[in-house]
Structure formats: structure tokens, C-alpha cells
Amino acid sequence: MNVTVIGLGLIGGSLLRALATRGHQVTGYDVSEATRQAAASAAGVENPGWRVADDIPAAIVDAEIVVLAVPLPALPEVMPALAGFTGLITDVTSVKGPVRDLLKGRRYVGGHPMAGKESSSFLASDPHLFDGCAWVLCLEPGETDLDDWLRLAALYTSLGARVVPATADEHDEAVARISHVPHLLAAALSNLLEDNPLAGALAAGSFRDGTRVAATRAELIAAMCGGNAAAVRRVLAAVLEDLDAYGRELTAPDPVQALTPLLRRPGELRRAWPAAPGVPEEVDPGNLLAWGRSGGWIVGVEPRLVGLRPVSGRNDS
């Protein structure tokens, strides 16, 4: 395939390398001249290499697929240069609702590889970054072209990714639960070190793990959460409700007795995660969203759509 990657940071650069390794014709472009030069030099030492273009029109001239690998705030600036492009557009940003709205009417399938950080540079890029990573591909009923979706699923599974079908809204809700809100809780926990060096001296494993991601740059956490504000607020409200309930039970005459039943279910859920992968089975292309909602993913497309659904101890469906 002829693929153009716009934005050559960690994700875009890794995708450029991974696609070239698989024998695709790849072109890259980045707004930064230094990054373009770094990418062009790297192409010289690796075989098969890639082409680096000096502007977007030159980058997309032969493209079948354009991957937008720029940060969310840069997307509106890139769009005018794609006005005449009739091929398939996808992206890699970590929030999908706003991009779906921005590309309304275009031939577009939203994507999000759950790997690394978009902010890092081309120098950190790695053709193996996507090995085993979950790559969400959005499927909007009545909007997304199934053939386009399958084309990208085939491409990304060939890079070793597990392709997860979901709507943009389902994606945004899920990442609020498993990434954005965990970052906010880690921040609130880290604040407990304030004015209490004694606590810092006693802190060990539970504190270390519970706060690890709070060390991420404030701008990055704010961009993730703020870009997905509606879902994050909704999920945060659910967490606050649980924490309020724990606090209430701690006022009971026997707080140990009162608190115990509330802690059973979260323990079960955590011990059952991650679910063990099941055996591959053929997936009905008309049933992709149900497959994703049940915790399943796609491991290959040719000659048939093959998916894996995790086996858990629970009766999810």
C-alpha cells in the first residue's frame, strides 16, 4: 500500500518505520524541518526506507491512505491541505469524538494505538512499538465504510497490533476509565505528600504504584483529560460516588464490618483482569461493535476476519 504519515513524533515515526519494514511504500512529513531531516537521514540507513516530503501536497500526491499523527490541537491546521484528497484518512489521537466531528463528511476511520506518548520525538520511534498493542479503530454505524475499516484493520494487524472495534463515544468512555481518570487519582494521591515528609519516608509499594503516572507532565495529563472532558467528568463522578460511600461506611459503629462488603466486588474485578485470551474465532463483519464491547479484538483480516475474545470468570456478553 501507499501510505503517508503526517507528523513524525513517536507514534508517526514508529508507524513510518513499521510500515516500511513490511514493504509498504511510505512517505512522511513533519512541520518541523529538524524532524524531517532526522527522518530523511534515518531512511538512508535502513532498508527498505521511506520518502520524506517538504510539504503536505507533495507528501500525499500518491497516497491511498493518509495517517494524521499530529497532536489534537494541530489537526484543524492540517485539514485545509487535505481538501482535495479523496483517499482514506485515519488518525492516532487519544480522543476520538472531537476528531470524528472535525472530519464529518470525509472518508475517515478514527484510530488510536494504545502505545507510548504522542509528545515524544522521532528519535524515540521504534518499528516494534505496536507489537501486541491494542489499536482502537472506530466504526460509526451508518457512517464508517466497512471496507475502509477492514483495510486499516488488515494493515495494523500486519504490524502486530490487536485491533479493537468501537464507536468514538465508546472509545472515549473506555479511555476515561482506564487512563484519564487514573491520572487524576494519581495526582490527588501525590498531593498527600504536601507538608508531610514523614508520609514520604514511610511510603512504599502501594503509594509508589498508585501515584506513578502523576509524574507525567501536567500539560500532557491536562491535554488528555481536557480533550475528553465530558467522559472524564462522568467517570470521575462515578469514582467520587464510590469514595463517598467508603467514607460514609467509615462513620459506622463498626467501620470494618461496614466497609468489607463494598470492597469485595472491586477485588473480584481486579483479580479477573486482565482476562486470558480465548481461542481465535471467525468474526461476522456485521457484528464488529458487539465483539469489541465484549472485550474482543481482531488479530487478522485476510482471508477472513479473525478475532480473539478474552475468557474471563465472569458472565459478560
Instruction: Give the nearest distance from C-beta 301 to a copy of itself in angstroms.
Output: 18
User: Taking the complex as a whole, how short is the minimal distance between the CB of residue 33 and a copy of itself, in angstroms?
Assistant: 27
- Smallest distance, Å, CB 113 to a copy of itself? 11
Minimal distance in Å, beta carbon 193 to a copy of itself? 4
Nearer to a copy of itself, 86 or 206 (CB): 206
Smallest separation (angstroms) from a copy of itself to the CB of 245: 9
Q: Specify the residue, 106 or 314, whose C-beta has the smaller distance to a copy of itself.
A: 314
Residue 161 CB, shortest distance to a copy of itself, in Å, is 12
Please provide residue 256's backbone torsions phi and psi, each rounded to the nearest 5 degrees.
Answer: -65, -50
What does the alpha-carbon distance between residue 227 and residue 97 come to, in Å, rounded to a whole number? 9
Q: Given the complex with a copy of itself, which of 148 and 172 has the nearer CB atom?
A: 172
Rg value, the chain, Cα? 22
Burial class (CB in 10 A: 0-12, 13-18, 19+), 256: exposed
| Beta carbon of residue 306, minimum distance to a copy of itself (angstroms, whole number) | 16
Closest distance of CB 123 from a copy of itself, Å: 22
Q: Which is nearer to a copy of itself, 41 or 196 (CB)?
A: 196
Instruction: Give the torsion through C-alpha atoms of 8, 14, 20, 24, to 10 deg.
Output: -80
Under a CB-based contact definition with an 8 Å cutoff, are residues 72 and 98 in contact? Answer: yes
CA distances from 51 to 54, 71, 233 (A): 10, 22, 43
Rounded Cα gap, residues 110 and 149, in angstroms? 9
Best CA proximity match to 74, nearest among 97, 55, 51, 99: 99
How many Cα neighbours within 13 Å face the side chain of 25?
9
* Cβ proximity to a copy of itself, 123 vs 263, nearer residue: 263
Residue type, 169: D
Long-range contacts formed by 36-45: CB under 8 A, 24+ apart: 36/8, 38/8, 38/122, 38/123, 39/8, 39/13, 39/122, 42/17, 42/122
Of 32 and 207, CB closest to a copy of itself: 207
Whether residue 80 is preceded by a cis peptide bond, meaning omega within 30 degrees of 0, is no
Q: Which is nearer to a copy of itself, 87 or 278 (CB)?
A: 278
Amino acid making up residue 106: R
Q: Is the CB of 83 or the CB of 201 nearer to a copy of itself?
A: 201
